[in-house]
Chains A and B, each alone.
Chain A
Amino acid sequence: MNKMDSLTANTAAINRLLARYGVKFGIYKNNTFHEQLFPYDCLPRIIEKDDFARIERGLIQRVTALNLFLKDIYTKREIVRDGIIPEHFVFSSTGFLKQCDQFVPNGSVFAHIAGIDLVQAKDGEWYILEDNLRIPSGASYPLIARKLERRASPRSFIDNAVDSNANYAQLLRHCMDSVASEGISVIMTPGRYNSAFFEHSYLAEMTGCPLVMHSDLFVQDNRLYLKGAGGSPVKVGAIYRRIADEYLDPLSFRPDSLIGVPGIMSAYRSGNVAIVNAPGNGVADDKGTYAFVPKMIKYYLNEEPILKNAPTYVPYYEEDLDYCLKNLSKLVIKDVSEAGGYGVLFGKDLDEDGLKTWRERLKKEARRFILQEVIDFIDLPVMQDGEQVYRKADLRAFVISASDGVKVWHSGLTRFSRVEGSFVVNSSQGGGFKDTWVLSR
């Protein structure tokens, strides 16, 4: 495809429009809030139809297994009983919430919106790097960028059959409505100083759901209500909450939370409101649990995983620990409790003293870390100062699970590093984004 000239020629204009529409993310530096534009690159990642069809099957398979895992862990725990996953890994995970024990949400869906991070290796193989099942962000950026690309370069969309990505809001809305108890669907934000506030407000606009804060909601008679400026409270049937579990309900989790809704967990457990995504999902997207997802797929679905994990070692197992100690300098170390690109360390960047210190640490804190082979994932073309350069890029794919089925959004957020050779693509660490085009023929 070499019809991108009008896109590249209009990059500055697209970026101006993105700025105009407030496509920003928030970041705290030295305890001060800054809003930054999310640097956009006009050259999309393009995924061929057949390639995406395989990714789609793999993602549906993976998220289906993860949902089954969550249901199992919070009810019968057969996967633990059958020795597929060590008990320790599940119950010592900070993501496991006893407040969710023995409860299955409406439609048996836990991970309604899953953001699955993938990379493509130089041999073309796709690897899963991370599952994000709590409150994954990012869909709004390619969604709004696509609108502008279509205006900037109609020719690109006439000459190439690109699947529309305009249906994200409908997928999200359908998902919420499908699991809702009686009442309206709302999107809850912790406020404008949240790093993803643009996304919260944009998705509210696109889905037509009210954007609400904790102060707009209250629980009465074990039901969640929205108090509007118009008078009578309105019952809420589904809440797409964009705040972390621990802040959701001060009566169930952190008592010092000022951004939660007292009593919402009780209403949820009574089946009177659906919480999207379900609380307690952290046990399934823990980086430690990640290593066991291929086993989950075999266990629950009796299928071979379609998409591979990056080769991962769990120092909890002696055999893995031995390998890690011997090969530390070529592995990447990940702290299972961190996210957003933090807590990631490359062994190749450590000197002898550093390696020695880390070997000791791995022995002492075996549960806290996983180690992975460094996947030399492909560089994608990026326009920088008018020149085409190549930078590392990943893909966050979005999988939406409604009560009537699992769907993969035919697009995704491609994040790239703006530093040559760097593998860190996170926006919070200076990365940019590009749209993801899925070809339909």
Chain B
Amino acid sequence: MGFISVDQKDNLFWLGRYVERVYLTLRHFDELGDRLLDIDSTAYQGYCRRLNIPDIYTDALDFIERYMYDQSNPDSVYSNLSRAYDDGIVLRSVISSASLSYVQMGLDAIDEGRKTHASLLLSQQIIDCLLAFWGCIDDYCDAHQHRNVIKAGRYMERLDMQLRLHDPWPRIEVSLRKLQRRIAGGGLKCDGQAADGIMEYVLKAPEDDDSYLAALKLSHGIIIAD
């Protein structure tokens, strides 16, 4: 179907962002979980700082539980996946029931994890659902432009997370180039100077927090509003 409304386009972009946020968080959680258990039980504090989310957790276990499953915590994986669902449910006719079903299954898996307190065990199942979701988008979302908008959201989120977590430039560059391609394909406008600025900041002082922060700020303006 070729038509989408202005609101649906917005939903599509944010669906991509939230799904990617959950996916990257879970991927990162694997590594962070090991650090919390084996090396530094306060490592979550630095993580919260970098993501600019409030550190409301009493200890590592509280973080693992509430950051994953707490419905009342707006930063939790659960809340972010719920937001993805909220964006997705109004897009059934654009992305297909098949694609939407994987977001629903991810939510079901996270619900199951909440009930059984199997905090990290269910993350693989959720990751599986999200990967299947992206596969479905490629297969079922027929309109090229719609796929580009949702993937612009995906790579915008990836870039954002990478800059916050100080990923090295080669990985950031891949995301940035993909984002630029998707912005163009989605009929959105890209600020080329912002893209160049991100590269300059990250390459100039790769160990410097301020450089990443400046690059992050630039990334927020990379898509020019209509």
A-side residues, CB < 8 A to B, are 19-22, 184, 191-192, 197, 201-202, 204-205, 208-213, 215-216, 226-230, 234
Contacts and interface: CB of A to CB of B under 8 A. Distances in A.
Given A201-B92, A208-B1, A22 B7 contact: no
B9 interface: yes
Contacts of B104: 19-22
Contacts of A22: 89, 92, 97, 100-101, 104
30 contacts: A20-B105, A21-B97, A21-B100, A21-B104, A22-B89, A22-B104, A184-B3, A191-B90, A192-B86, A202-B97, A204-B92, A204-B93, A205-B92, A208-B1, A209-B93, A210-B1, A210-B4, A210-B93, A213-B5, A216-B5, A226-B5, A227-B5, A228-B5, A229-B4, A229-B6, A229-B8, A230-B2, A230-B3, A230-B4, A234-B3
Contacts, number: 72
Interface in B1-57: 1-9
- Classify the interface of chain A: helix, strand, loop or mixed: mixed
Interface string B98-109: 001100110010
B74 interface: no
Name which of A19, A197, A202, A205 has the most chain B CB atoms within 10 A of its CB. A205
Contacts of A191: 90
Contact of A201 (B6, B9, B90): B90
B168 interface: no
Nearest to A186: B3
B90 A192 contact: yes
Nearest to A228: B3
B96 interface: yes
A236 to B, nearest CB: 11
Contacts of B2: 230
A204 B145 CA distance: 19
B5 A212 contact: yes
B197 interface: no
B135 interface: no
Given A19-B108, A21-B101, A192-B90, A213 B7 contact: yes
Contacts of A230: 2-4, 145, 187
A293 B48 CA distance: 67
A20 B96 CA distance: 13
Given A20-B108, A201-B90, 8 more contacts: A201-B89, A211-B92, A213-B5, A227-B6, A228-B3, A228-B4, A228-B6, A229-B5
Contacts of A227: 5-6
A184 to B, nearest CB: 8
Contacts of B100: 21-22
B92 to A, nearest CB: 4
Contacts of A201: 89-90, 92-93
A226 B3 contact: yes
Given A19-B104, A22-B101, A22-B104, A215 B7 contact: yes
Interface of B: 1-9, 86, 89-90, 92-93, 96-97, 100-101, 104-105, 108, 145, 187
Nearest to B97: A21
Nearest to B89: A192
Contact of B92 (A19, A184, A202, A208): A202
Contacts of B86: 192
Contacts of B6: 216, 227-229
Contacts of B96: 205
Contacts of A202: 92, 97
B159 to A, nearest CB: 23
Contacts of A208: 1
Nearest to B95: A205
Contacts of B89: 22, 192, 197, 201
Nearest to A234: B3
Contacts of A20: 101, 104-105, 108
Nearest to B98: A21
A20 B97 CA distance: 9
Contacts of A205: 92-93, 96-97
A228 B4 CA distance: 6
A227 B86 CA distance: 22
A151 to B, nearest CB: 14
| The 3 residue pairs across chains A and B that have the minimum distance between CB atoms | A204-B93, A229-B9, A201-B92
A205 to B, nearest CB: 4
Contacts of A211: 90, 92-93
Contacts of A21: 97, 100-101, 104
Contacts of B1: 208, 210
Contacts of A204: 92-93
A211 B2 CA distance: 12
A33 B62 CA distance: 30
Contacts of B93: 201, 204-205, 209-211
Name which of B5, B8, B100, B101 has the most chain A CB atoms within 10 A of its CB. B5
Nearest to A212: B5
Contacts of B3: 184, 210, 226, 228, 230, 234
A168 to B, nearest CB: 15
Nearest to B85: A22
A235 to B, nearest CB: 12
Contacts of B5: 210, 212-213, 215-216, 226-229
Contacts of B7: 213, 215-216
A187 to B, nearest CB: 8
Nearest to B145: A230
Nearest to A189: B90
